[in-house]
Amino acid sequence: MNFSELTTCQPILDAIKDLNFDTPTDIQQEAIPVLQNHTGDFVGQAQTGTGKTGAFVIPLLERIDFTKKNVQSLILAPTRELAHQISEELIKFGKYLPMRSTTVYGGVSYQKQINALKKDFPHIVVGTPGRVLDLIDKGILNLALVKITIIDEADEMLNMGFLEDVETILKAIKGERKIWMFSATMPRQILKIINDNFTDPQIVRVQKKAMSSENINQSVCVLEHKHFNEAICRIVETKDDFYGIVFCQTKQETKDLADRLLARGISVAALHGDLSQADRDQSMMKFRNKKVQLLVCTDVAARGLDISNVTHVINFGVPKNFESYVHRIGRTGRCGLAGEAITLATPGQLRQVRRIEIFTKNRIDRFKIPSAQDVKRMKIKKELKEMESLKQAIMEKKDSFKIDESFTIFKEHLDGLSADDVLKLMFSWKFNFDLRQIDNIGELGQSMATTASRPKQWHHPESNRRRQHHGRSATRRAY
């Protein structure tokens, strides 16, 4: 199936072509025809990262009357970041349509958002429940002519305590209106909202697939918690073109790790609950635009993030539940690209890692922290790579290479040294301090190896079943 079979709106098809989307995802193939034709409400159950935003944006844009100046659709999202991302998708898919949209959320001044609602005459408003409700109460946001209300990531709304606000907003929308809801899971409270507020809902469920290990290389590294910060520094420093996310359990861990990374000269942005909205936006912008190579965040702060081309996900400790693990590592290995997920675990967390392996039906291999020598070697390689263009220019231009006249002072000072002596001097001057710092920290791998050799052992579930089936004792793999 292709998108021309799902929509006849040429401006939308032109935008899809610009986005280089070829084949609709499963949820798009299933949901779009229903949203186009069903006269009642809609519930879509699909995991994050399955293209569900496109599944509701395309039929929504088809239903907007662009000649009018009133709000015709309200989209509710649990977080500011997700609201922003939905707005970006609206702009991308509506690139060739006269569509106007506004995003509203808390943590920033009301005035700019109020001005946008009053002066821009948006067709679509995307917002978080709290700010939307405030604007309704103030008489600023008029929902009298809203035809379609969309609730995205309803289960996250539940987790964050927004369901009461959502129900209040739904009751504020009078007259004929449709409700479209998307949720990864369907807990009891979500089903109650559907029963109480929806009319003739049609439910589309996209079968949850077992996590594929084809694109994501999953591994675990066992070491003491006090070595986690240094371990992450070494992983980042020894990987080429690292562009990744580190998930921490607490705000304090996020702050401490970000400080440690910055002190090592690693470009990093932090995302946690203590940041102002302006600082959060700045951190996200830096990471999206690849001004920094690493985003350090908590689960709560990262809700709704959708970043392309992430090469690595690192868990700063084992996540507390299986779904969190799946959700975290699913941010890499997208669109057919290879990704790597590394979990740092203490010996006491190995049982939880074992459970995750069973739940995901994927093998989690052992990962060895780079040695001090690995870090030193990569540091020198990176520095040499940065000076390669200068080296080429000197070799090509030779005597015609322009250099400041004060170079003579430098040259005279080195007179009497052989070429080899000059190289030793320059190498020591450039690298000795950093290399000694690395040596002073020591070999984390030794601590890890000692930890890994302790009696706590576990093995892969599929191999166990095969061995037990043939009556042989299972051989255990130590981590």
DSSP 373-409: HHHHHHHHHHHHHHTHHHHHHHHHHGGG----TTHHH
Q: Rounded distance, CA 449 to CA 361, Å?
A: 26
Q: Return averaged pLDDT per consecutive 10 residues of the chain, 479 residues in all.
A: 91 93 90 95 84 94 95 94 91 96 90 92 96 95 94 89 93 89 90 94 78 77 90 88 92 92 91 82 89 89 74 93 82 82 92 88 86 75 76 78 81 84 80 70 50 39 43 37
pLDDT at site 209: 55
* Residue in this structure with the two tokens 């450039």, named with its chain if needed: 430
Instruction: Check residue 438 and give its pLDDT.
Output: 66
Residues in Cβ contact with 443 at an 8 Å cutoff, skipping those fewer than 6 apart: 371, 372
The label of the residue with tokens 């709000």 reads: 71
* 229/348 Cα distance (integer angstroms): 18
Instruction: For the chain, give every residue range classified as CATH 3.40.50.300.
Output: 3-205, 216-371+450-478
- Residue 235, token pair as written in the block: 């992983």
CA 385, CA 460: separation in Å to the nearest integer? 41
H or E segment at 294? strand 294-298
Task: Specify the pLDDT at position 392.
Answer: 81
Tokens 């040596």 found at: 439
The pLDDT of residue 213 is 54
d(CA 169, CA 163): 10
Neighbours of 333 (CB within 10 A): 23
> How many helices (H) and strands (E) would you count in the chain?
21, 16
The letter for the amino acid at 28 is Q
Q: What is the C-alpha separation between 435 and 422, in angstroms, rounded?
A: 19
* CA–CA gap between residue 472 and residue 117 (Å, rounded): 70
Half-sphere exposure of 91 (CA within 13 A, CB side): 10
Residue 377 makes CB contacts below 8 A (sequence gap 6+) with: none
Enumerate the H helices of 198-306 as residue ranges: 228-237, 251-263, 277-288, 299-302
**Class of the CATH-defined domain 216-371+450-478:** alpha beta
What pLDDT does 399 receive?
A: 75
Q: Domain 3-205: which topology?
A: Rossmann fold (3.40.50)
Grouping H, G, I as helix, E, B as strand and the rest as coil, residue 196 is: helix
Q: What is the pLDDT of residue 96?
A: 97
* pLDDT on residue 442: 63
pLDDT at residue number 88: 92
Q: What per-residue confidence (pLDDT) applies to 50?
A: 76
- How far is Cα 224 from Cα 195, in angstroms, rounded to an integer? 49
Cβ–Cβ under 8 Å, residues 149 and 77? no
DSSP SS3 for 459: coil
Question: Which amino acid is residue 232, in one-letter code?
Answer: I
Q: Which residues contact 435 (CB under 8 A, 6 or more apart)?
A: 376, 379
- The first and second tokens of residue 161, run together, are 């305590």
Task: Yes or no: say if 173 and 146 are a contact pair by the CB < 8 Å rule.
Answer: yes
* Phi-psi label, residue 241: left if phi above 0, alpha if psi -120 to 50, beta otherwise: left
Q: What angle do CA 445, 446, 451 make, to 5 degrees?
A: 95
3-state secondary structure of 80: helix
